[in-house]
Structure 1
Amino acid sequence: MQDIHPLILCGGIGTRLWPLSRTEHPKQFQRIDGNSETTFFHATVERYRAPGFADPLVSVSSTHVATVLQQLDEIRCPARIIAEPISRNTGPAVLAAALMLAKTDPASLICVIPSDHIVKGDLAADIVSARSAAEAGHIVLFGVPPEYPETGYGYIVDGGEIEALPCARKVSRFVEKPPLDVAMALIEAGTAFWASGISLFRADVLIEEFRRLDEHTFDAVTLAVARGLETDHALYLSAEALQPAANLPTESIVFERSPATVISPLTVAWSDVGAWNALHHIAEKDEEGNVLSGDVISIDTRNSYVRSTHKLIAVVGLDDVVIVDTDDALLVTTRDQAQQVKQIVKKLETIKRRELSQHMRNQMAWGEVKRIQSGPGYELRSMTLRPGMMLPVAQDQTLHRMMTVTKGAGLLKTETLTRPLRIGETFEVAANEGAVIYCSPESEMQIVEVVCDAAFKSVATALDALQLVNS
């Protein structure tokens, strides 16, 4: 019996989980809570490291390939990566994976899995129990029995039993994010499920449905795979070929239009963590109904979600609130208004705030980078390289870099020289030059970097900042 291939989708941004989730560092790569190192992506991968499952495929933006590689290495999990040069929603990503697997086995079983959900229970067992329906040529959509009339989820309405197929049921219709009165009616009828975004099917079935229902996208993705660049760690799809593909989810292109679609109920607790209130809903609570993450002291506070990243948060006399603290932003709202965080994100986009896209402190494949100070034409930041790691400094026509080693030792290599690096040594990487910094395998290395616009005239300001750090 062949193994099921988990296809983990990492393309979302998760704007309603700002300030944790940012466009350059989305929620799937962030820690689930402040009390552990496990990220949403870690948890998703680990969920399918079980009998009956092959090593995962991971579909991700090209800009986040290094992050995926780092997090896979942290849990020692091999995987094949499909790198998307442009965003085209889930439809083209799922088709690309099916085309890849069909090269060696057209009947490969694929389970599509979002990377940013929270699940409690044996989801892998639920998926394995529905494999007979997928092997028979059905597209299995996994539904969650609804706990309340959620207006932010899609619903799948049960269409009745399927003879000789006890693991799945017919689909009557789809209802996308209904208003409250409709959601309440669906719950009362007892025949609707939340759409989990998880599906199971044969590669050849999905490919044929795409060819039949959206030949234009099928041709574009087929060409993007054929013209893609394959490296040791990923297949980079061709951007030019992928451009004409529909920017739509698999649900609207295929699942909602295919007679092969069936539904299989899940037996687990599930949340897509679309907003902070969802994290409160599914997490374990204290005796006051609070979910406290990180360094938090709570007095006379109930039914609240409070998350600290680096500093102590003290909360007194508040009920039903959400407080989320990061290095450079603090969110305070009520649980019933948590969905409105997306309005903050829109405002940040309008006024072009850095906090929309970047954290002050970011984990990289080679270590950590922290922004310390910035001003017109320059940015001061601290970088910590893990022992034995390599930091590539890419050529850039607009940026001039000045660096000082403040801890550890290593090696600097440019096109013209190779030199050792020790504490207190300062070096430059000029605009249009590249370099590689190697950290000694014995201990970590810390570097303070000032990045200046090449055309910035008042470089003295940046140099003053660097001198201040050195002193």
Structure 2
Amino acid sequence: MKKEHAVIIPVILAGGSGTRLWPLSRECHPKQLLALVNDKTMLQNTLLRVQGLQGVGAPIIVCTEEHRFLVAEQVRAMGIVATIIIEPVGRDTAPAVAVAALEAVRQDEDAVILVLPADHVIGNEAGFAEAVARGASRAGQGRPVTFGIVPQSPHTGYGYIKKGAEADGEKPPVFTVDCFVEKPCLEKARQYLDEGYLWNSGMFLFQAAGFLATLKEFEPGMADCVARAYAARTHDLDFTRLDSVAFSASPANSVDYAVMERVRDTVVVPLDCAWSDVGSWEALWEIGKQDENGNVFIGSVLAEDVTGSYIHAGDKLVAAIGLSDYVIVETKDALLVAAKDRTQEVKTIVKRLTMEKREEVRLHKKVFRPWGSYERVDSGERFQVKRIMVNPGATLSLQRHFHRAEHWVVVKGTAHITNGDQSIILTENQSTYIPLGAKHRLENPGTIPLEIIEIQTGSYLGEDDIERFEDLYGR
């Protein structure tokens, strides 16, 4: 027997690399895990948004292997309980949603899933909650629901939804979907704006079991691969791992193409709010708090005769003179300068960095790990210096290197070090030498963060020169 009000389970899609927001967004630390609009990350803002909804269950987050510990730490910092599912490989949004739907059905066979990207900005939280409530009743009846943003401009970076007839005569109205439209040229976008089209937000409400049945009808191969991957799932610490072979065999496709554009009873709920998928630096400028000259400045910025610009100073003072409609983004290892209306082309720079195998496309100088973080301080021929921070109670893997030796100096805190056959305790200003090939491990037995300086020397200093023997984090 169906429940009168099915529980809504938020499904947050936290994969993706956010290449158009380079150099802040990197493969190993993408935009959804960055604080871009306030003191919370995009993921954390999304979690807060769904906490304010009526009748919601604990969220399901789908993320990648590489980002799992960052996701888990950000969830923990919010004091929220969530199911975190790891995608073995990226297969676009349809398989990710299908996996989450299987988990939702396991929790509640009548569950409705609210599918949300982790990296959206929504200005009107009350309006969002009201739109979800209106959509939930239709989704509970088995009708797929999408949310269409009332356009603020003839934007060429979004897909559009053409509304059909009013669905049920209620006020404010919801509509049937006439069709989904690809990202248009500017002339078409202006036409769509005049004709009352909506932006396609990529946010959906489905009855979980109904979504799975529809996917099986239209994409049986995908449905089978996902079902097998989920059936063979394992649990690792706080994560749910899917079977890699089965999931990797799934075709890649988006929810839009696999399901939404094929079903005929879809309902669109208009959402009139300040919304952005933060797909470029220009988008961040649009939603930022602009000064009297139309500028958005982050960090230490000095500007003279600058208008309509977005300047983000990460670590250094950025001074700008006589600029109009520019984007400047500074980090410790990269500087982006671009005309504001060409920031979508940042992905071209990222492609070049990838082709040249530049580390700046993947990592910041400060790299987060499940045990803490490390930051590259200096490097040269046959040497590298890092600043390592280990969280209280955390332990690195027992490991060894074939091409480098290491010298550790404790700057702050207490270190428990395994060095070959030795087990030693070091405190501030004490040090130890790890010979090439020696098994070693670093632990923080204290209650404050442990900080050490690591000096590496050797013929090869890459992060892949590591053999692990024991690891608490399953790497």
Q: Normalization by structure 1: what TM-score?
A: 0.90
Which of 344, 348, 364 pairs up with 1:359? Answer: 364
Deviation at 1:182?
1.5
- Secondary structure class of the residue paired with 2:396: strand
Deviation at 1:232?
4.1
Distance in 2 separating the partners of 1:62 and 1:405: 31
Distance in 1 separating the partners of 2:366 and 2:296: 24
1:189 has 2:195 as partner: yes
Which of 26, 29, 34 pairs up with 2:33? Answer: 29
1:79 has 2:82 as partner: yes
2:58 is matched with which residue?
A: 55
Question: Deviating runs (4+, > 6 A) in structure 1?
Answer: none
1:384 has 2:386 as partner: no
Deviates more, 1:177-186 or 1:237-246: 177-186
Point out where structure 1 has 5 or more consecutive residues left out of the alignment: 458-471
Confirm or deny: 8 A CA contact 2:63 2:87 kept in the other structure.
Answer: yes
Which of 389, 411, 414 pairs up with 1:406? Answer: 411
1:428 has 2:431 as partner: no
- Secondary structure class of the residue paired with 1:268: coil
Deviation at 1:375?
3.7
1:280 has 2:285 as partner: yes
1:250-294 deviations in Å (ceiling 9; x for gaps): 111111111232211112210001100001111221111111111
The size of the alignment, in residue pairs, is: 451
Which of 208, 224, 229 pairs up with 2:229? Answer: 224
Distance in 2 separating the partners of 1:429 and 1:205: 59
Confirm or deny: 8 A CA contact 2:6 2:110 kept in the other structure.
Answer: no
Confirm or deny: 8 A CA contact 2:166 2:174 kept in the other structure.
Answer: yes
1:294 is matched with which residue?
A: 299
Write the letter of the residue equivalent to 1:175: V
Deviates more, 1:97-106 or 1:19-28: 97-106
Identity rate, percent: 33
Deviation at 1:18?
0.5
Q: RMSD across aligned C-alpha pairs, in angstroms?
A: 2.1
Distance in 1 separating the partners of 2:234 and 2:382: 36
Distance in 2 separating the partners of 1:398 and 1:241: 35
- Secondary structure class of the residue paired with 2:115: strand
Which of 338, 341, 345 pairs up with 1:333? Answer: 338
Deviation at 1:28?
0.8
2:7 is matched with which residue?
A: 3
Write the letter of the residue equivalent to 1:88: R
- Secondary structure class of the residue paired with 1:257: coil
1:236 has 2:241 as partner: yes
2:465 is matched with which residue?
A: none
1:38 has 2:40 as partner: yes
Write the letter of the residue equivalent to 1:115: A
Deviation at 1:345?
0.8
Change (3 A) 1:394 1:400: farther
> For residues 287-326 of structure 1, what are the structure 2 equivalents within 5 Å?
287-326=292-331
Deviation at 1:99?
0.6
Change (3 A) 1:267 1:3: farther
1:28-53 deviations in Å (ceiling 9; x for gaps): 111215xx532111111111112322
Distance in 1 separating the partners of 2:221 and 2:10: 26
1:178 is matched with which residue?
A: 184
2:219 is matched with which residue?
A: 214
1:162 is matched with which residue?
A: 167
